[in-house]
Amino acid sequence: MNHVLLSRLPQFIVFRGVLSQPYSVAVLILCAAFSLILFTLTTPLMTWVLVLAGCAVVVRISGLSTFNSLPTSRTVNLLAVLAVFALSWFGLSVGLLDSMINLLTVACALKIMLVEKKRDFHLLICTCLFLIGCGFISSLSVFAWIGYTGILALLLGATAIYHGAAVSTAKHFKFVIVLIVQAFPIALLLFLLLPQLPPLWQMPTSKSTETGLSDTVTPGDIASLASSSELAFNATFESADAVPDVESRYWRAMTLEHFDGKTWSISDKRKQAEQQLAFMGRSTPLSILEEASKPQVTNYELIVEPTQQTWLFALEPSFPNNRENGISVKSLFDYTLRASSPISSKKAFYLRYFPNAPITNGLGNFESQLNLQLSTNGNPKARAWGQTLANQYTNPQERVRAVMREFNHGNFRYTLSPNAMPTNPIDSFLFEQRAGFCAHYAGAMVYVLRAAKVPARMVTGYQGGSALNDNVLQIRQYDAHAWVEALIDGVWIRLDPTSVVAPSRLTFGLEHALEELGESRQTTILREFSNSAFFTTLQSWFQQLDYSWSKWVLGFDNAAQSNMLEELLGALTPQKMQVVFLSVVGLIGLILAIYFLPKRQRKTLSPSHVILLNAIQYIETKTGIKRGHRTLSAYLAEVLPLINADSAKVFKQLCELFERNIYAHQAESSRVHLIMKRQLKTLKQTLK
């Protein structure tokens, strides 16, 4: 019966044959885990590396069937040499860290075609574990964590199957899951109590794929941002009452004070001035305010997605609470905040918001001069309008109001897809197109105000934010915004021309404003899907999960750790810390000991055992041949010719005595022990 079936279905045998061998199953699972890791590493990996790795996996899996053979080590070595050349060629452009990840992946892909020995398999498993570590460099979200835990389970399962116990695959995985669950409390303990080390390498900065705002604005940039619904940051307030109302949710990132006729950028002069002032130790106006400890302060926490940049987004005006911050944050004279190192991973920042404090002119005359500069030529109409306004109104406030009035009544339209304005962009925007988005309006307004002799600058950042919880705001990339600040009577006043053109942009968010304009980002079907109850609950559930993960796991940095320890133990002294660390390590050691001890438990050795094992140890050190699990006679046969005749004779007698004492008599006699002890001494002497 059987053989009829088998002969009729050759492919069936191959399949069954493959899956019935633990080696094949292990390799198959390893390949699956490796492919999953490749999926998660698509960003750092170069396309050709991905293709190479994919091919390697396919070759490996097809090689499991007996009909196909695997490439020889010669072929693989040739491939390795070529890959190293290619890597060193492309490596220059992608940076050290990424090329190292690529190298590791290439090595893994090539090795996967050559798994023969146990050592190869272990090497691959370890390299895959390392690749998982590399994956965590770019993403620390809860989903990455869940995914990588799954892959880890696959890798461990593959190892368990490879080691060939003859039980079913499901049983192996059950074992691995039990192992992971057992390891979890240990990991938790280490995470909570051991100090977290800073990264040992420099993260690659300012990649082309960076997200978020950039430090220059050419109207057009922010339109592309608006299409991204990626999370920018979460802001958590102490209570629901502390959440600022919609009108004041302006998250300031940077001030753009330099305009070259096309592009707004951070002024070099300001950068220099800031450096000099910092060097001189001048405190910023806000730090003076902070020291004066004004009563109305709102504390809040930002959880910022990685931007690879140093700027932060803060309510205006905010001051960093550096006692809590992992990365120290500096408050600058233009009321923006800078972190001391680029935000390369999800990070929490603690800030203090002063709702009623004005944004003052921090640098006096220098600042007002800086913000009156205009490019010498171009945009003649806008310049002329500004001059008219300057002549028309003596009060700068009147001039501002006039510009806002013009935006309100001048038939301006809000759109995310304006026409290109290559020459004299401000003129063509103000007097021809009259359609644009926040950057167009802010840019035009600053230009006109400067022409009207009112110091003004463009501020970029985010505006708005949707509530995730009562006290949590979520700000996404499409909330990116640009607005205007004008210096009137020594105080910077926030002006938002977009608010008069498209008021719903501010109160209900971009999505709503665009829907009103009939210019939504999503097609109808997609919108209906995303509005369905199931999808929204699912989405909010995911957001909630990700938020909690960010807050409680990623937010648990050294500062939070020492806070927790202080709460538990009172003031922290180095001695106390040492005791804590030692006890954590000790506790883990104890857990491991409890786990492993039952296996090692032995009966107490009888005296003749002790003597014999000692004698064997002498012989082992003398000859270098370990007994292992061999019997006495087998071991004797091997070592006797290697030692001198005297000791051979004594050792042989000793073994005979032992054998008779242990196996031939009812009880061991102490007389024999004495003889054996004497013989052990002689053996030691004769061996020398």
Partner 1 sequence: MRQDVIRVQQALSQKIIGKDHQLKLAITCLLANGHLLIEDLPGMGKTTLSHALSKVFGLHYARIQFTSDLLPSDMLGVNIFHSHEQNEEKRFTFRHGPIFSQVVLADELNRASPKTQSALLEAMEERQVSIDGVTHPLPAPFFVIATQNPSYQSGTYPLPESQLDRFFMRISLGYPAWEAEKAMLMQRDASAPLAQIIDETNLIEMQREVSAIHTSDAIFDYILRLVSESRESNDYPNPLSPRASRALLQGAKAWAYVSNREYVTPEDVQSVFVAITAHRLTLSSHQVANGQQSQAFDGEKLSQKLLDSVDPLAA
Binding-site ranges for partner 1 (CB under 8 A): 2-3, 16, 19-22, 164-168, 175, 602-606, 609, 612-613, 616, 627-634, 659, 662-666
| φ, ψ (nearest 5 deg) of residue 462 | -125, 155
Question: Looking at beta carbons only, is 126 or 613 nearer to partner 1?
Answer: 613
User: Measured between alpha carbons, how far is residue 586 from residues 208, 561, 581, 583, 593 in Å?
Assistant: 47, 20, 8, 5, 10
Q: How far is the CB of 665 from partner 1 (least distance, A)?
A: 7
Nearer to partner 1, 240 or 637 (CB): 637
CA angle 159, 164, 168 (to 5 degrees): 90
In the complex, least distance from residue 352 CB atom to partner 1, rounded to whole angstroms: 59
To partner 1, the closest distance from the beta carbon of 629 in angstroms equals 5
> Using alpha carbons only, what angle is made at residue 139 by residues 134 and 143, rounded to the nearest 5 degrees?
115
SS3 of residue 455 by DSSP: coil
Nearest residue (CB) to partner 1, 20 versus 196: 20
Q: Residue 230 class from Cβ within 10 Å (0-12 exposed, 13-18 middle, 19+ buried)?
A: exposed
Which residue number, 604 or 670, has a Cβ lying nearer to partner 1?
A: 604
Q: Give 127 or 608: the residue with its C-beta nearer to partner 1.
A: 608
DSSP states of 249-296: -EEEEEEE-EE-SS-EE--HHHHHHHHHHHHHTPPPHHHHHHHHT-S-
Task: Tell me whether residue 74 or residue 599 sits nearer to partner 1 (CB atom).
Answer: 599
Q: In what order do the strands lie in the sheet with 216-217?
A: 216-217, 264-265, 258-259
Q: Residue 1 Cβ, how far from partner 1 at the closest point, in Å?
A: 9
3-state secondary structure of 447: helix
Judged by beta carbon, residue 175 or residue 393, the one nearer partner 1 is 175
Min CB(118)–partner 1 separation in Å: 14
Token match 């499901």: residue?
170
At closest approach, how far in Å is the CB of 544 from partner 1?
41
Judged by CB, which is closer to partner 1: 17, or 586? 17
Q: Say how many CA atoms lie within 13 Å of 333 toward its Cβ.
A: 21
Burial of 389 (0-12, 13-18, 19+ CB in 10 A): buried
Of 665 and 681, CB closest to partner 1: 665
**3-state class (DSSP) for residue 318:** strand
**Shortest distance in whole angstroms from residue 341 CB to partner 1:** 49
Q: What is the DSSP letter of 386?
A: H
Q: What single DSSP character describes residue 417?
A: S
Rg (CA), the chain: 36
Nearest to 426 by CA among 463, 475, 384: 384
CA distance 333 to 578: 42
Residues in the chain: 688
CB of 4 to partner 1, least distance (A): 9
Q: Provide, rounded to whole angstroms, the least separation between the CB of residue 680 and partner 1.
A: 16
Of 606 and 682, which CB lies nearer to partner 1 in the complex structure? 606
Q: Closest separation between CB of residue 45 and partner 1, Å?
A: 35
